[in-house]
Structure 1
Amino acid sequence: MVAVALGALEGAVMRVCWEVQAPVTVRAVLGRLNEGRDQPLAYTTVMTVMSRLTEKGLLDRAPQGRGYVYTAAVADEAAIAVREVLRAHGDAAVTHFAAEASLDPQLRDRLRRLLEQSP
């Protein structure tokens, strides 16, 4: 599940971007999202969501032709969660959590890498 800070459609867009792991267009994301839907989403709806995700720092956007291509700016839901904790509680909370002796060493290393990547 995607972090609470994202709406359902924002989370779905991010999942497509994470699955593709390459620059994608709005049209490509729209096609993936509309697979199996009774009521297809509009192109402009997905374009607006992707623009907002770019403003939130979750997608990167680069010009391509007359439009843009997008890539995920964060690795996954865990990266979004770390960003939210940092915004809400600062580095001290995450540092304390990562320093806990009972924390799995692989998870501790992942948290440290995420902290190094966060803005």
Structure 2
Amino acid sequence: MADEGDRRPAGELESSVLAALWAAGTPLSAAQVRTAIPQDLARTTVATLLGRLCEKGLVGRRPGGRGFVYFAVQDTHGLAARRMHRELDGGSDRSMVLARFVEGLAPHDEAELRRLLQEDHP
């Protein structure tokens, strides 16, 4: 197990758990997630991480086996979009945040954004 002084940021651990769920392509138990991630974590730590990811809406769970099985709710693209929304929502001036974002886009990304905005969306 990792030494208490060797703590990793929660984001790194959550990313490992999500990567394991994406790679599996099928729901996993907490024990299966534990063996699929590169970090050597206690069972309770993995269970806590999965619970937090469920609360954040990034992971779903359903009954399976003797407990729950967990699955990623969004793919990597959806997760990136969710982070972008969170940043936008956290700014005091949405218009300024969007303007700064667009200013920093590469020309091909700006063109793609314009194309997407012109599409009809249901």
Give the structure-2-normalised TM-score. 0.64
Superposition pairs for residues 27-38 of structure 1, below 5 Å? 27-33=31-37
Shift of 1:79: 2.1
> Counterpart of 1:21?
25
Deviation string, structure 1 residues 26-67 (Cα, Å, up to 9, x no partner): 111111225xx6xx3111110110110111111011112431
Supply the distance in 1 between the matched residues of 2:53 and 2:108 (Cα, whole angstroms): 31
What is the RMSD computed on CA atoms of the aligned residues? 3.4
Structure 1 letter corresponding to 2:51: S
Between the aligned residues of both structures, percent identity stands at 34
> Counterpart of 2:12?
8
2:108 aligned with 1:103: yes
Supply the distance in 2 between the matched residues of 1:53 and 1:72 (Cα, whole angstroms): 9
Higher relative contact order (CA 8 A, sep 6+): 1
> Counterpart of 1:83?
82
Supply the distance in 1 between the matched residues of 2:108 and 2:81 (Cα, whole angstroms): 16
Aligned residues: 100
Shift of 1:104: 5.2
Gaps spanning 5+ residues in structure 2: where?
1-9
Runs of 4 or more, structure 1, over 6 Å off, are none
Structure 2 letter corresponding to 1:80: L
Supply the distance in 1 between the matched residues of 2:11 and 2:29 (Cα, whole angstroms): 20
Gaps spanning 5+ residues in structure 1: where?
1-5
Higher alpha-carbon Rg: 2
